[in-house]
Structure 1
């Protein structure tokens, strides 16, 4: 019995994290409309804190890919918008690879 519970524990953790993302309102915050409304604040934050912005965005992208959250398109567009074509592409590719490697 205990062995079966340990076997299903990773799946249970993933389901809880996905449920938490949905119920916390994270999915609404990552919509194109919401990001468009916060455009200026996001650009100001990236300009003021470039290293923190890259690190936080990559962490968010890794989490979204690892949990298979349906926000990859929005995050990809946001990465290009916030960091430019080349840096945004590098961050997204690294984040997607790391997120896929977690599973």
Structure 2
């Protein structure tokens, strides 16, 4: 069983991502001048979505969840396009 969501983040070479359960919001930042965009891939049950930041090094993108899923499990990971991804983060909403 997963515990209630807390502010989680993941850092990998080239990207930083977080989920804020209080705001039901993701943020993803590009941290390297490498020519690759960054994104967060996430899902709740069968609903999948992606938060994309392709604006380049030093930029940030925030996105709110489109719905509320009380007591559901959220899974997400941060990735550098075509290069690498973090491990999956699992949180209870």
- TM over 0.5, yes or no? no
Bigger share in helix: 1
TM-score normalised by structure 1 residue count: 0.25
Query: Which structure has more RCO (C-alpha within 8 Å, separation ≥ 6)?
Result: 2
